[in-house]
Structure 1
Amino acid sequence: MADGQPFIPPSAVDVDLSAVGWAQNRTMSDFETGMWRMEEVRPELRTPIVAVDVLDRAPDWDRLVRAHEWASHIVPRIRMRAVEPAFGLGNPVWSVDPEFDLDYHLRRVRLPEPADLDHALRICRHLATEPFDKARPPWMAMLIEGLGDGRAVYVVKTHHSITDGMGGIQMMALLHSRRPEPTPDKPDRAPAPPEHLSDLSALGLEVLTEVRRAPSRIADLVSGSARAAITAVTRPFDAAGEVLDYANSLRRVIQPPPATGSPLLRNRGLGRWFGVLEVELPVLKGAGHAAGGSVNDAYIAALLGGFRRYHEELGEAVGKIPMGMPINMRAASDPSGGNRIAAVRFAGPAAEPDPALRIRKVRAIVLALREEPALDIVEAASPLLVRLPTRLLAEWYLSQSKGLDLQASNVAGVPVPVYLAGARIERMFPFGPAPGCAVMATMVSHVGTCCIGVNLDTAAVTEPALFMQCLQEGLDEVVALAGAAKGAEG
C-alpha cells in the first residue's frame, strides 16, 4: 500500500468507544468470504497476517493479559467467530463465541538460552503456518521470552478476513500505549454477550441482510443507469469514450504482467521462512528523492535489486520480475477493520543494474497503475466470483498468484514511541501472507525506522539465507544514493 500517511495511535484514555467500528458489519464481504473459503481446498492460499513486535524487555504478563481482555471489550470482533450459513447460501456471519477463552488465544513461551531474534522468528513462522481453528475467533498472540540480550518478542497472527494491513495497525494500536505506566482510567465497556448462532440462524441473518440491501442496491442501479442514459443521449461521444477508456483500463489491470516467472522460483509449497531488514526512514526517503522517486519507489527498487543479485549468485540470468502490489483504498471516513485494498500487477525492472534508473522506472510504472479506472475490479467482481464453486475459485486465484514472484506492500506505521505492558517496542516487523507467490515483502515505518518483513516460500526460494543477504545488498545500493546525493550537496 504505497506511501501511506503515518498512523498516530490514540492514548488509551483518548479512545472514542463510539468510533471503534470493528463490529458494524456482521457479515463478511464477498472479497473476505473468498479468502476465508479458498484455503479449505487449497492450503497454499492461507492468508495469515503476522505482526512481530521486538521489545526492549519482557513486558509485565498480568498487564499484557489485562490489555488483551480490555481490547476484547473495545473491539467485539476479537471475541467473534465466523459462522457459515446453512447449505453455504450466503457469506459467513460474525458471531460472539459463546466459549471465548483468552487463554487459548494468548500464549507465552520461553526460548532455551542462548537465543536471539532468529530463534524467535522461527517460532513466529511456525505459528504463522498453523491453520486457524475456524470454530474459534481467527487470531492468535504469543509472548516469546528468553532472548539472550534480555529482549522479548510479541507476535500476533490474524486471518486476512478480519482486516487488511492498515486495519491490523489500527487494531494493534489498542494494545500499545504512548507511556510505559499503566492507564487506570481508560474507557471501558462490558464485553459483548455470548451468542449461540447456528448455521440456520446465520442463513436467516443473511436473508435479512440481503433484503435490507436490496432497496439501496436498486436505487444505485437505477440512478446509475439513469445517469448513463442521460449521458448517452446528451453526450454520446463522451459516453462511448468513457466505456472505451474503462475497457482498456480493465484489460491492463486483469492481464498478467508482461513477464514470465523466474525458473529459479517456479515451485510453490507450504514451507515458509521469515527474514527481516531495516533502514532509517529519512535515509530511504533521501535515496528515493535523489533518484526522483518516493520512499516506496526506493523500497521496491531495493527488493528488485536483491532479486537480481540472487539470480547472479546462482548463475541464472534475470529479466523482468512479475510482481504485485496492494494499494490502500481506505478513505478517512472508513470504519476500522475490514479490507479496503486493490491490487496492481506489473513487470518489475529487476535486470536494471543502475539503482537510480531502477527507482525512476518503478515510479513511472506505479504512478500509471494507480490512476487506472478499473483498479478496484477484483472487489467489484467479488459478488460474482464468490458465487463460483469454491474449488473453481481457488484454482483460478492460485493460477493468478502463482505467476507472481514478488508481492510488496508498504503500510503506514507509528511515528511515536509506544509501549506494550511497560516494555518499549523497538521494532515492528510485518509479515504479509504469501498465497501462491514466491516472496511477500511488507514494510512498516516505526519511529523513524523502516521495518521490512520478508515471507519466503521455501519451495521457491531454496536458499533463504542467501536470498536475504542479496536483499540486504540491494537495499545497501539504493541507500548509497542518499549518501552520494548528500555528499554532492556538501
Structure 2
Amino acid sequence: MGDGRPSIPPSAVDVDYSGAATAWSRSMSDLETGMWRMEEAKPQLRSPIVAVDVLDGPPDWDRLVKAHEWASHIVPRIRMRAVEPVFGLGNPVWSVDPEFDLDYHLRRVRLPDPASFDHALRICRHLATEPFDKARPPWTAMLIEGLADGRAVYVVKTHHSMTDGMGGIGLMTLLHSRRREPTPDKPDRLPAPPERLNTVTAFGEELKGWLRRAPGRIGDLAGTAARVATAAATNPLTAAAEVLAYADSLRRVVTPPSATGSPLLRDRGLGRWFGVLEVPLAELRAGAHAAGGSVNDAYVAALLGGFARYQRKRGQEPCPVPMGMPVSMRTGADPSGGNRFTAVRFAGPATEPDPVARIAKVRAIVLGLRDEPALDALELAAPLANLLPTWLLADWYLSQSSGLDLQASNVAGVPVPVYLAGARIERMFPFGPAPGCAVMATMVSHVGVCCIGVNLDTAAVTEPALFMDCLQEGLDEVVGLGAAEQPQG
C-alpha cells in the first residue's frame, strides 16, 4: 500500500474473485487450519504477527486511509474473512466480507503528554494480545501519535493463518513508497465484490477445491510411487538406504531437544511484554565474520549469551536452551501471502562462554538441520494432524511448544529508505507469535539496521527489563568480536 508506484505482486492480481485462485488458495492450508482452530481450545496458542514501524513524524491520515483502501483492491485477501465449513468438514474458506469496514480495521490514537516510544510499545502489546473477531478479516492496523519527540508509530497485526513472516514483509511493501510525495495514477482495480458464504456453501467451495486438486495430488503420488518402484527394482540397496536415511532424519526432526531448559523460565501464561534491540547490520556481520559464521549464527549466539547472563544474574548456572527456529520454504513462485515454512528444534549452546565457539556451535547445528531430508515433515503431517479433535491437537502442540524457552526468527527486510503516507520509516520492529514458548525473538534488517523485536511471556520471564539488558549485553559481546578485528588508528 502506499503513495509510490510499487510493482504489484503477481500473486495479488492472479486471484479469481469467484474462488478459482491461481496463486492465493481459496482454502486455508492444513497448517494454517491448525493455527486457526487450536487457539480456540488453547488461548496460549494465539498466533498474531505484529509489525511496528517507527516514523519520523505523523503521516498524512487521509493518504494513509486511501492507501489501505487501494491495497484492499490490489490484494483481495485483505477484504476476506475465514468461513468454517459445516461441521468442520474441511478447511476454512476465504470469502470476501460482505460487510467489510475499513474503519474497523484501521484505527488512530493519540497518546497523552508526555509520551515516549515505550508508551507506544505498550499500546502495541495490548493490541497484540486482543483476540481477533473471526467473523471479520483477521488483521488490524493502528496509527499512534503524540510522542514527545515528534515521531509516530504505525502497527499492523495479522493472524498467522494469513501469512508467515516472509509473506508479511511482502505484503507490507505495498504500504511503502520510495518518496514522500504522492504518486498519481497508481495502477488500481475494482474491489472484490462481496460474498455471502455460509457454513454450507463454504463446504461446497472446499469440496470443489478438493476435487480440483485431487487429480494433481493423485498424479504426484502415482509419479512418486513409480519412481520408488523403479529405484527399488533397479537398485534395491540404494533405495532401501534412502528410506532408512529419511526415517532416521524424521526421528531427529520430530524428537524434542534434549535440553530441559531453565527452571526460571518454566511457567507459561497469557501475559506478553514487548522489547526492542537494534544494531547496525555491518557491525553484526563483522562480528559474525570474525567467528567464521553468518549474520544469523551471530544473532542466535547473541540471544543465547543473553539467556546465560539472565540465568547467572538470577542466581542459577546457565543451561542449554531448548529452542526452535522457523525455516522458510518460500520460493520466488510462491504468493506473497500464505504460509511456507517449517521449523527445526535443538538445544542452544548457551553454556558456551566463548562467543566465537558459541557462534561456531550454532552454525554447525543449524547447517546440519537445514540439510535434513525430513525437513518437510511438518507440512506432510498437517493433513493427518487436522483429522484429530481440535482439543487433542492443541494439547499436543502446546506440550511441544511449551518445552521451548526460545524461538528465534530472522526475516529479510527493506534495504532502501521507504515512506508511509509522507512519513519516513526509521525502524521496523517485528514481533512474532509466542505460542507456548517463553521468548520469541524476530529480527528484520531495515536500511542497514538490524531491528529485533522480543515477545516475552511474562509468566516465564518475570523480570523483563533485566532480561532485555542481558540480551543487549549478549549482542554487544558478539559485535565486539568484529570491533576487535578492526585495525587501530
Report the TM-score, using the length of structure 1 for normalisation: 0.97
Identity of aligned residues (%): 75
Q: CA deviation at 1:220?
A: 1.1
Q: 2:6–2:177: 8 Å Cα contact kept in structure 1?
A: no
Opposite residue 484 of structure 2, the aligned amino acid is A
Using the TM superposition, give the Cα deviation of residue 13 of structure 1 relative to its aligned residue in structure 2, in angstroms. 2.4
- Quick one: structure 1 residues 73 and 407, their matched pair in 2 at CA, closer, same or farther if it must change by over 3 Å? same
The CA distance in 2 between the partners of 1:475 and 1:469, in whole Å, is: 10
Query: C-alpha displacement at 1:16, in angstroms?
Result: 3.4
Deviations 1:409-456 (A, max 9, x none): 000000000000000000000000000000000000000000000000
Residue number among 11, 15, 22 corresponding to 2:7 in the alignment:
15
Matches within 5 A, 1:75-154: 75-154=75-154
Alignment partner of 1:222 is 2:214: no
For 1:385-424, list aligned pairs within 5 A.
385-424=385-424
Matches within 5 A, 1:163-242: 163-242=163-242
What amino acid maps onto 2:251 in structure 1? R
Equivalent residue runs for 1:315-394 within 5 Å: 315-394=315-394
Residue 254 of structure 1: how far off its partner (Å) = 0.4
Aligned to 1:295: 295
SS at match of 1:196: coil
Query: Counterpart of 1:129 in structure 2: which amino acid?
Result: T
Q: What is the CA distance between 1:55 and its match in structure 2?
A: 0.2
Looking at structure 1, the residues matched to 203 and 359 of structure 2 have their Cα atoms a distance apart, in angstroms, of 50
Partner of 1:473: 473
Partner secondary structure for residue 435 of structure 1: coil
Q: 2: CA distance between counterparts of 1:15 and 1:340?
A: 22
Deviation at 1:318, TM superposition (A): 1.5
Which range is displaced more, 212-221 or 168-177? 212-221
- Shift in Å, 1:218: 1.3
Amino acid aligned to 1:196? R
1:158 aligns with 2:158: yes
Structure 1 position 261, deviation (Å): 1.7
Residue 276 of structure 2 is aligned to residue 280 of structure 1: no
Match of residue 247 from structure 2:
247
Q: CA deviation at 1:387?
A: 1.0
User: Normalized against structure 2, the TM-score is what?
Assistant: 0.97
- The alpha-carbon distance between structure 1 residues 17 and 375, as it changes in their structure 2 partners (threshold 3 A), is closer
Residue identity matched to 2:7: V
Structure 1 residue 317, shift from structure 2 partner: 1.3
Equivalent residue letter for 2:56: D
**Which letter maps to 1:162?**
M
Amino acid at match of 1:408: A
Aligned equivalent of 1:72: 72
1:221-257 C-alpha deviation (Å, 9 max, x unpaired): 1111111011001000110010011011001100011
After superposition, give the CA deviation of every residue in 1:95-143 in whole Å (9 maximum; x if it has no partner).
0000000000000000011111110000000000000000000000000
- Match of 1:147, SS? coil
CA distance in 2, matches of 1:74, 1:222: 38
Deviation at 1:334, TM superposition (A): 1.2
SS in 2 for 1:273: strand
Q: Secondary structure at the match of 1:260?
A: coil
Shift of 1:11: 8.4
In 2, the alpha carbon distance for the partners of 1:348 and 1:284 equals: 19
> Contact 1:412 / 1:444 at 8 angstroms: preserved in 2?
yes
State how far apart, in whole Å, the 2-side matches of 1:187 and 1:147 are.
34
CA distance in 1, matches of 2:149, 2:163: 33
Preserved CA contact (<8 Å) 2:48 2:158: yes
1-side partners of 2:340 and 2:249: how far apart? 20
Equivalent position of 2:52 in the other structure = 52
CA contact (8 A) 1:17 1:74 kept: no
Post-superposition Cα deviations, 1:48-87, rounded to whole Å, max 9, x if no partner, equal 0000000000000000000000000000000000000001
Q: CA deviation at 1:206?
A: 1.0
Residues in 2 aligned to 1:336 and 1:235: alpha-carbon distance in whole angstroms: 41
One-letter identity of the residue aligned with 1:142: M
Indicate the SS of the match to 2:108. Answer: strand
Residue matched to 2:63: 63
**Conserved? CA contact 1:12–1:187, under 8 Å:** no
Cα 1:155–1:398 change in 2 (3 A) is same
Question: Whole-Å Cα distance in 2 between the matches of residues 379 and 420 of structure 1?
Answer: 36
Cα pair 1:143 1:153 within 8 Å, conserved: yes
* Partner AA of 1:49 in structure 2: I
Task: Please list every run of 5 or more consecutive structure 1 residues that lacks an aligned counterpart in the other structure.
Answer: 1-8
Q: Which runs of 4+ in 1 moved over 3 A?
A: 9-12, 16-19
Cα distance, 1:319 vs structure 2: 1.2
Structure 1 residue 14, shift from structure 2 partner: 4.3
Question: 1:15–1:187: 8 Å Cα contact kept in structure 2?
Answer: no
The superposition leaves residues 347-390 of structure 1 with CA deviations (integer Å, 9 ceiling, x where unpaired) of 00011111111111100100000000001101111000011100
Tell me the SS of whatever aligns to 2:200. helix
CA contact (8 A) 2:287 2:298 kept: yes
Q: Does the Cα contact within 8 Å between 2:9 and 2:336 map onto a contact in 1? A: no
Report how many aligned residue pairs link the two structures.
481
Report deviation, 1:487: 3.3
CA distance in 2, matches of 1:206, 1:316: 53
AA aligned to 1:426 is E
Structure 2 residue identity aligned to 1:193: P
- Separation of aligned partners in 1, 2:303 and 2:141: 29
Partner of 1:5: none
RMSD across aligned C-alpha pairs, in angstroms?
A: 1.3
- Match in the other structure for 1:427: 427
C-alpha distance in 1 between matches for 2:105 and 2:7: 24
Mapped partners of 2:375, 2:446: distance in 1: 29
Unaligned runs of 5+ in 2: 16-20
**Offset of 1:207 from its aligned partner?**
1.1
SS at the partner of 1:252? helix
Quick one: distance in 2 between partners of 1:370 and 1:452? 23
**Alpha-carbon contact 1:109-1:142 (below 8 Å) kept:** yes
Q: Secondary structure at the residue paired with 1:395?
A: helix
